[in-house]
Each structure stands twice: as structure tokens, then as C-alpha cells.
Amino acid sequence: MAPDTDFEGSLLLEQHQAPIAAALTPSFAADSSPEVLASAVQVCAVFVGSGVIKEVSRMGRILKLLTGALEQCKGKSNSISAMKADGTDGEMVTLGDAGDLSPNASVMLKVSILAAWAQLQIAASSQAYLNDVLKPYRWLLGPFWVGALRDYAGLRTDPEMGAAVSVGLETGVARDVLLPVSLTLHTSYRADIQYYDRSLPQLVNALAISLAMSDPYTYSAVDGQPVQSSTAVPAPPAVKAEPAANFYILYGLSFEALVKSLGDSTTTQMAQTALRAMSSLVRPDVSGTTVFQGAFFDELCTVAYRIAMSEPAVVKKDMVDLMSSFVTSRINTNAFDHAQARRVLAVVTYVLRGTIPSPDVQSTFSYNDTASGRITFLRSSFTAFAKIVDTLDPTQRADLYAVGLHLFSDVLRDESPMDLAGGLLGNLKGMLEGLARGQVPGVQDDQAEKVVAGLLGACVTNIDDMR
């Protein structure tokens, strides 16, 4: 964006805020079509998230239009006390001056509004000022995002139950808007399903970010207990035997989105989004202590191995973060299982073994993987390796750190133009310190010295080989 030459530190577009707001206002007029209203909401979100104006008090009518649209999602009662148990109310009947919206139009607009706010949540990761925009409405956004995903999942699973699955995106009528028409006695998708499908990645991404930042309103909504006012303080999540009320729905949607995205370079971002959502959902305060005792965990490991063999480095990195979160979040809880921790360590070791080139193994890195992407993945993987090792039996830690250092020696041997080792020296230091801590007095007193000597010997051999 071009700077304003007349006012230092200001952007040229800033002085056009009033004309932009004036141009948007007719879009909310009584004769506007639902498509125009939806597009206008998106434009408002783009302007707020663009960084042209970073002070909330100066965003004026454009922000007011956006927040007013969110308030209308509460329904015609316009009172939070009338919300249903999931934090939402009946259909939205007005937006701006446009009244008497049809059921289909209401659903389309709600999806658009929630997606617009989800995009602001995503942008807030790099635009800190947006947190001030989002903060007053987090108590609404968490339940709305969870409700949207829950409604979509319920309608897809059983369209005949549409009227009974009410989570804020309209009941009954949403069946015709959000589902493939093959499920509603038609032969092709209606245009409206595409609108929701485009919004799904943003909704899942916003949910993942909110869970990762431990937003209490989102956690309470996931557990089926949304707050009833902005002043209410949700109870902190607790580890229970059974999962949160909406765990199966949200985890199932994320898992399905992940599996569908694998093997397709055009859907890499969706795979990353799904993995990040799952990283928070596998924590025992959401998933409980019993869900991952059987087939759920086996499925998770199977997909992790699939990602390790075929996906780009950015997806591998998020997969390793997911597996690490699974183990480390269970420390000091009755959900921790040493056998599962060892299986997760095997997954991390496998993906490291497959990506670090060696005389015996061809790297699974893709030619599209950048140097920074590879370094970020390897850094996360070695960090996850060390964290998981520290959860296992103290008598095994020194041996396992020795395995990690053996893997690292292959990084030092790599002669590719990309300098991978230079970005991983912090990991080398951490594993050497872990090796020293992990020695069992009287049994492994000299193990660290032998491992370090072997590592230095491997480095000397590598240097000789390059001459």
C-alpha cells in the first residue's frame, strides 16, 4: 500500500476511508440482494484487516457495519439471554436496512459473516492490532464457529435431522443451502454449497488458532457450555474421562479434511489447518482420557506415517507438532501411556530418518521444499524428539538421546547446497545436554563421553570424505 506523501507515517488509502464507507453503505440497503450483502461484509473485513487503520477508535463506520452484522447473527431477539444452549438463536431476519431475508439468504449471510470474522482471527497472527478488534466479541465468536461446524457436520451426516440440529446456522432450511443437492432429491450441487465450502477452511483455521491460544470462550463452546454474556468467565477446562461435548464432531471434520487434502499440492494449506486444529483437540482436557486408547490412536499413527512418506516439509512439521502435543499434553495426567509415547517417538524417528539424506536412505524431501521449510521441519522434529524422550523411563533416556545424535550426524554429513546444520545447532546443544542429564549414575557414567567422541569422529570422517 502506497504511503501518503503529505502525512508521514500514514497510508494513502487512509484518507479514503469515508468514501469507501459511503460506497459500502448502499450495499446494506433494503433492495440489496443476499449476494451483495455477503460481498459487502467481506469487503468490510478486508479493509479492517488490511492495516490501513490500526486504531479501533478510528475505524469508524466500516467496523460498525462488520460488528453490526455479527450482532445480527444472534437472531431476531437481539438478546443474548434468548440464545440456545450452544450460544446461538433463531434466524437472522435483518442486515443493515435489508429486512425479511429468506431462510436461504440468512444462512448464506451467517456463513459469510462468520468466515469474515474468522479471516480476521487468522490475520491477527501477523497483525497484532486485530486482537483489539476481536477481543470484545470472543465470547460470541467461539460459540458461533463451533456451532457452524457442528451444524454442518450434523446436516451432512443426516440431512433428515436438519431441523433437530440447531447450532446457529438456521435449522431445517440449512439442509437446502449447505448440502449437496443429491441429498435433497436433486442431481447437482446448488451454488450455495460452494459458498459454505469456501468458508470451511477459514472456520477450521479460526477454531485452531482460538484453541491454540487457550481462548476460554472457545473451550467452553467445544464442551457445549458457552457463556451467556460478555462478562461471564468460563470455567477452565478440566481433564475428564469422557471427551468434550463437541469433540467427535470437530475432530471428525478436521480428520476428514486432513485425509482429503493429502497427496494434493493445491490443498496443502487445508492439511496444515486440519493438523493444527487436531493438535489442540487431542489434548486430554478436550479429548478426555479414554478416546485414544484404541482405534483412534492407531488411525492417528497411520495417517502420521502416510504424511511422513509423501507430504511436503510444511505438512510434516505440523504433523510432528501434533504428535508431540499428543504426548506432552498428557504428562502428569492419568491419560499418559508409556507405550503410546514410544509409538509417537517411533513416528518422529521415522520421519527424521526418511528426510535426512544418508548413504543408505534417499530423502523424502520434495524439490519444492525450501531451505527454510526444511530447517523449520527439522528443528521442530528434533525438539519434539527431545520432549518425548524426556517423558519416558529415565533409564532409557541416554540411549534414546544417543539415537537422536546419530540422526543428527547424518545432517552434518549432508553435502547439499542447502545449509541445514547451521539452523539446527540449538537442537544439537539441547540433545547433548539431554544426553548428559540422562546418564544413570554408576551404570552409564561414560556413555556421554563415548557418544560425543563418536559424533566428533563422524565429523572428522565427513571432512576426510570431502577432500
pLDDT value, residue 175: 44
The Cα–Cα gap between 263 and 439 comes to: 42
What pLDDT score does 161 carry? 44
Q: Which of 32, 60, 30 is nearest to 47 (CA)?
A: 60
pLDDT at 444: 67
Residues facing 417 on adjacent strands: none
Confidence of residue 130 (pLDDT cuts 50, 70, 90): very high
5 confidence band (pLDDT: 50, 70, 90): low
pLDDT, tens only, 320-331: 999 999 999 999
pTM beyond 0.95, yes or no: no
Measured distance CA(321)–CA(307) in Å, rounded? 13
Task: Report the pLDDT averaged over residues 237-263.
Answer: 93
Who wins on pLDDT, 463 or 419?
419
pLDDT above 70 covers what percent of the chain?
Answer: 81
* pLDDT, position 467: 64
Average pLDDT, the chain: 83
Please compute the mean of the pLDDT values over residues 64-82 and round it to a whole number.
66
Residue 190: which pLDDT band, with cuts at 50, 70 and 90?
Answer: very low
Cα 28 to Cα 41: distance, rounded to the nearest angstrom: 9
Higher-pLDDT residue of 84 and 376 is: 376
How far the first Cα of the chain sits from its last, in Å, is 51
pLDDT band at 117 (very low <50, low <70, confident <90, very high): very high
pLDDT at residue 203 tops 60: yes
Is residue 198 over pLDDT 90? no
**Lowest model confidence (mean pLDDT) among 22-31, 85-94, 258-267, 440-449:** 85-94
CA-nearest of 355, 327, 324 to 340 is 327
pLDDT (0 to 100) of residue 184: 42
Asked whether the beta carbons of 45 and 35 are under 8 A apart, the reply is no
- Quote the pLDDT of residue 15: 66
Rounded Cα–Cα distance for residues 394 and 219 (Å): 34
| Non-local CB neighbours of 73 within 8 Å, separated by 6+ positions | 88, 92, 110, 113, 114, 140, 144, 168
Q: What are the residues facing 3 on neighbouring strands? A: 11
Cα–Cα distance between 276 and 153 in angstroms, integer? Answer: 19
pLDDT beyond 60 at 300: yes
C-alpha to C-alpha distances, 110 to 13, 72, 406, 453, nearest whole angstrom: 29, 9, 54, 63
CA dihedral 403, 407, 410, 411 (to 10 degrees): -140
pLDDT on residue 151:
80
Q: From its phi and psi, is residue 197 left (phi > 0), alpha (psi between -120 and 50) or beta? A: alpha
